[in-house]
A and B are shown apart, each in its own frame.
Chain A
Amino acid sequence: MVRFENVGLRYGLGPEILRDLNFQIPARSFQFLTGPSGAGKTSLLRLLFLSLRPTRGLVNLFGQDISLLAKDEIADLRKRIGIVLQDFRLLDHMTTYENVALPFRVMGRDEASYRREVIDLLKWVGLGERMDALPPILSGGEKQRAAIARAVIARPQLLLADEPTGNVDPTLGRRLLRLFIELNKSGTAVIIATHDITLMDQYDARRMVLHQGRLHMYE
């Protein structure tokens, strides 16, 4: 599903922050991405999400060399990827329901075809009572759950999550992990970037460890 070959990344004329990345993400796989702060976890996620282009090497996503893709094709590929960012990126003028339903709106689907699904998912992540609330009045944990719900609602083939349990209590953290595992069992490849050892210990999965710009895999 994802193949990186000799991939390197630098910002501008600065030093290379990701070096010689060689790995594959198989379909339906589950992995944690970890490493010290500043190791490049977020940059790697952005490479995987196609919001950054590598300065060298080959990135192959869903069987396509991304260096050959036009902008519209990249947008189409992104519809198959869900992403949860540390800063949530919710739209403040939209309710929680509308934020979560946004991927379906962008796909041009009729609201009647997904309304029940969005409401069920919001209930599942504990936001059943906050569907009509605007993000500015949500707590950090609620925002995070809304962001996760938005990332998974369209059941992407690849889910990228940057510290998805960073702002929630351990109980909800476990529940969210269960959601990711359920999603993975239904066929989505999952990559969770995290510092949380407790979270990683709860599920036996491949670990990708970034250290000094290089990636080490622990099966």
Chain B
Amino acid sequence: MSRIGDEQGPLMDLGQERPQVPAKARNMSPIVPSGQIAGRALVAVVAIMTFLASITSGAVLLINASASEWQSEVASEITIQVKPVAGRNLDRDAQAAADAVRGQPGIVEVQPYSKEQSAQLLEPWLGTGLSLDDLPVPRVIVARVTPGTVLDIIGLRGRVAQAAPGASVDGHRAWVERMRSMTSAVVLAGIGILALVIVATIISVSFATRGAMAANKPIVEVLHFVGAGDRFIANRFFRHFLRLGLQGGVIGGGIAMLMFGFSESVASWFSGTAVGDQFAALLGTFSLRPSGYLILAAQALVIAAITAAASRRTLFATLNEID
């Protein structure tokens, strides 16, 4: 059936009474007024959630980077311990073990610790003026492995044992494995916290959307009366929630990024001090790489998108209930 409005002229003829069109009369108001949506509370919730998610992700990235650094450092080093054996010369055994290690393919540097160097290593615990002749202290040889090389530890152990019966080789494999599993546990915990933050965000946004729809039910009903479909109505609300989600994401993500930047500055102020050095040994440089900041920014956008998607889903569900 064709529309009558398309076939007819003006509904009424005002003749000479036709008014001048006033300049003010035009569509200026949004169909859904933003003031009627509990915006500030929702922005705060999304900002807090984004902040927590960013701190979690940032911490995971930092720990992951530090752990990788430790692992590569530890994995690129092996330690040979030569214990004193009755009837054998410890210096000669240490020299023989060092020579055996030097002959191993993949070893770039061998540093045997002399009697004096070993005494220095023990100074913090045993004090100065120590005579190693009175104690059965083993000698230590530290060797560096070419990065990326898979060292034949078993072969090396055999050769070293042949050269010096009291020597043992430690490839730090157990330590590396433990560190790897600890890092994986931290990453998994981070993902778990992120998942919880996202679920909490979805729940908060759904409640906020329901509240906004309830507060604006008269508008929804009038829009139904004038023939607006659910998609039209949902889009009017959706714009508000997308904007609120973006605001919250930018605030929360921005504060988190500033915090990481500030922490980096604090770490650099303390560098060179005893505390700073201990901290750096534990957590590395405590600085996020540029890719880390990009990840945090992308995460803020994802949380804004989740906010919008959750509100859209709730909007359609609520419109079904209202109708």
Residues of A within 8 A of B (CB): 49, 51, 62-63, 71-72, 75-76, 78-81, 83, 85, 89-91, 93-95, 97-98, 101-103, 105-107, 111, 115-121, 123-124, 128, 131-132, 150, 152-157, 179, 182-183, 186-188
Contact B11 A155 (CB under 8 A): yes
Contact B12 A106 (CB under 8 A): no
Contacts of B219 in A (CB 8 A): 91
27 A–B contacts from the bound complex (CB under 8 Å): A49-B225, A62-B1, A71-B229, A71-B320, A76-B229, A78-B225, A89-B221, A95-B29, A97-B25, A97-B26, A97-B27, A98-B27, A101-B27, A103-B227, A106-B226, A106-B227, A106-B228, A106-B232, A115-B25, A119-B22, A124-B11, A150-B226, A154-B5, A155-B8, A157-B1, A182-B11, A182-B12
Contact B11 A121 (CB under 8 A): yes
B10 nearest CB across to chain A (Å):
6
Contact A120 B27 (CB under 8 A): no
Residues of B within 8 A of A (CB): 1, 3-5, 7-8, 10-12, 14, 17-19, 21-22, 24-29, 31, 33, 36, 218-219, 221-232, 320, 323
Given contacts A75-B227, A150-B226, contact A123 B11 (CB under 8 A): no
Contact B12 A116 (CB under 8 A): no
A36 to B165, CA, bound (A): 115
Supplied contacts A97-B26, A157-B4, 19 more A-B pairs, CB within 8 Å = A51-B224, A51-B225, A71-B230, A78-B224, A81-B227, A85-B225, A91-B218, A98-B28, A102-B31, A106-B223, A115-B26, A117-B11, A119-B22, A123-B19, A131-B25, A132-B24, A156-B4, A179-B12, A182-B11
Contacts of A95 in B (CB 8 A): 25, 28-29
A183 to B221, CA, bound (A): 25
Contact B229 A120 (CB under 8 A): no
Contacts of B26 in A (CB 8 A): 97, 111, 115
